[in-house]
Chain A
Amino acid sequence: MDARRTKSYRFIDLFPAIAAKEKHRLMVRDFYFHHSGPIDLDIESNERVGLSGPSGAGKSLFLRALADLDPHTGELLWNGRSAQSMPGWMWRRHIGLLPSEHSWWYDRVGDHFHSMDEPALKSFGFETDVMEWPVSRLSSGEKQRLAIYRLLCNEPAALLLDEPTANLDAENSRRIEDILARYQLCRQTPLLLVSHDLRQIEKFATRHIEISDGRFVESPMKREEQG
């Protein structure tokens, strides 16, 4: 893939100074996936919803179904537009899903990017030369941070995050949480976070939903507002 070395990126601003005026809303209505449902859930542009539950409860499957990667029934609406009204890939560009395991398919880091925000790389803890690195040189934590950067560079209008800080130390976890919160504020993106770490949900999310026995139960936050 050496021919790609000369490729040029589209430069974007991940955190526009003027916050988006447009409000976004992700609506889930009468939603069934795998063996779960019905689920009704609205996520507004100023919300960060934390989703927790025992492993095997279907948290990751729910995110996959929201990204239209798995079959589902019911309604899935983005600002009133249904997922069915656009091609699958376009839906997935709007609704950015970060899986819990990340794949890298080219040898060079930069080949995985079409667009990027070079100054923002610093806040992820990288210099710009990371784009020239071979993927094999990355540690699992670095891969995780770069996978989040890769997703954000797609400029998704909603974020579905599956354990985004699972492989990270405390400092980098805080760093990533700050970045995600900033992105969400600047762009008014509805955000859904799956986490095993209830403290993270308490700290980061504005709403908490627990899955138990296949049901989605709204769980009160100990602290109502933050930041």
Chain B
Amino acid sequence: MNVVSLSIFDLFVAAFFVFVVAGLTLSLHLNLGRQILVAAMRTTVQLLSVGFLLKILFEHVHPLWLLLMALVMLLAAAREVMQRQQRRFRGVWGFSAGALSMLVSSFSLTLIALVVIIRNDPWYRPQYAIPLLGMMLGNTMNGIALGLDRLTSGAWQQRSIIENRLMLGQPWNEAIADIRRESMRNGMIPIINAMAIAGLVSLPGMMTGQILAGSPPLEAVKYQILIMFLISSGTGLGVMTAVSVGARRLFDNRDRLCLDRLQAAARG
């Protein structure tokens, strides 16, 4: 493959523009200068570490290492889901609702894709498994975070409506039905939109990468379609699971709304 290798200098040229933007925001009092620089540093450090990690992982192909890496990714994603909630569930639920949903959606679909569709030998070749899982997790995480955030803030804001419906004798699942439906839609719409406009406005990142790396465009496209289908179904499953679990958790076994199971997050 004829990849143009990037030098450190090439990256510094790109970094120069980030500095320019950071400087501009400073002069416009946007208060973003520090954030931009910190984010840029994080990108550099995190991606470099992952690069080294992947290098090691590729040299030591073993399912156990893969599993370990996948677990770390899952925990990071679950933490991120929790962080993005304005009102999150207290205790282990805040973390595990997202983690479990991603486990059943992203992990199972990635596994099926590896074993049934891509059929590598061995199926756990990290070169395929890790990027695939990463894309699945990243998108599912977004959907779940959006869905759960809508659910918990909706329940918080519409407390009197939900309780009025309970007073009229509606079971919990009927009283929360509209909010739950809206939350699921909210979590799934971004990925549906992404499927609908894929290739029209921008080329999806993975396909772009493959083409830059010298793959024939049609091969890249086929992979991109596969990925699109996987991440949209993974997101759909994950969002429906997470929002259903979360909605149930908002009520106790007497069908009372338990908003004390939520806590406000410090905004940051």
The residues of A with any CB-CB pair to B shorter than 8 Å are: 67-71, 87-90, 92-93, 96-99, 101-103, 105, 150-151, 154
Contacts and interface: CB of A to CB of B under 8 A. Distances in A.
A14 to B, nearest CB: 15
B255 A88 contact: yes
A103 B166 contact: no
Interface residues of B, number: 19
B178 A151 contact: no
Interface in B213-257: 253-257
Contacts of B15: none
A69 B254 CA distance: 8
A89 B256 contact: no
Given A67-B167, A68-B256, A105-B165, 6 more contacts: A71-B256, A89-B171, A89-B172, A92-B167, A103-B165, A105-B158
Most A C-beta atoms less than 10 A away, residue of B161, B167, B178: B167
Chain A interface mostly helix, strand, loop or mixed?
Answer: loop
A99 B256 contact: no
A69 B163 contact: yes
B165 A99 contact: no
14 contacts: A68-B254, A68-B256, A70-B256, A89-B169, A90-B169, A92-B169, A93-B169, A96-B167, A98-B167, A99-B167, A105-B158, A105-B161, A105-B164, A154-B169
B164 A87 contact: no
Contacts of A90: 169
B164 A154 contact: no
A93 B167 CA distance: 8
B59 to A, nearest CB: 58
Contacts of A69: 163, 166-167, 256-257
Interface string B152-174: 00000010110111111111100
Contact of B170 (A89, A99, A150): A89
Interface centre among A68, A93, A103 (most CB of B within 10 A): A103
